[in-house]
């Protein structure tokens, strides 16, 4: 089980979640951040600090963002399990469902 990040993060990237994660498993793409499903230890510390409420336990993802479970998992298909996000910095890609979104803004 894991937490995931959904669409409200896109183009916002507040990064408050990164500071809370005890295992450094929140990785930064170009337009949003992604939680590594195997490295997350379900501590839940990230969820309440996101100002746009983009973070959900995988069983609680709203229907309109259900694709974001796969987006968080598939983002790591070619990355594997680096065991820490800080050393990677910004990873120059996003999941295809994020790449195709028009620019997002916080309403
Ligand atoms: Fe994104 Fe929220 Fe983290 S906007 S970077 S999920 S604090
Ligand atoms: Fe980190 Fe959030 Fe998981 S703080 S361990 S990504 S629940």
Select from 25, 39, 47 the residue to mutate for testing ligand 2; criterion: most ligand atoms less than 8 Å from CB: 25
How many angstroms separate the alpha carbon of residue 43 from the centre of ligand 2?
5
Nearest ligand for residue 38 CA = 2
According to the model, what pLDDT value does residue 4 have? 98
- Predicted TM-score of the model (pTM): 0.97
Of 64, 50, 71, residue with least CA distance to 2 = 71
Of 72, 5, 81, 3, residue with least CA distance to 39 = 81
Domain ranges of the chain: 3-83
**pLDDT mean by block of 10 residues, the chain; 107 residues:** 97 98 98 98 98 98 98 98 98 98 86
Q: What are phi and psi of 102, to 5 degrees?
A: -65, 165
According to the model, what pLDDT value does residue 18 have? 98
CATH architecture of structural domain 3-83: 2-Layer Sandwich (3.30)
Taking the C-alpha atoms of residue 22 and residue 68, their distance in angstroms, rounded to an integer, is 22
From the CA of 33, give the closest atom in ligand 1. 5
């Amino acid at each position: 089980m894991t937490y995931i990040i959904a669409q409200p993060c896109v183009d916002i990237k507040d990064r408050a979640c990164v500071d809370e994660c005890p295992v450094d498993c929140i990785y930064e793409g170009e337009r949003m951040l992604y939680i590594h499903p195997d490295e997350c230890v379900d501590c839940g510390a990230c969820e309440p600090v996101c100002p746009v409420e983009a973070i959900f336990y995988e069983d609680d993802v709203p229907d309109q963002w259900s694709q974001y479970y796969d987006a968080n998992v598939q983002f790591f298909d070619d990355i594997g399990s680096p065991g820490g996000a800080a050393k990677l910095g910004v990873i120059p890609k996003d999941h295809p469902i994020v790449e195709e979104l028009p620019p997002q803004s916080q309403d």
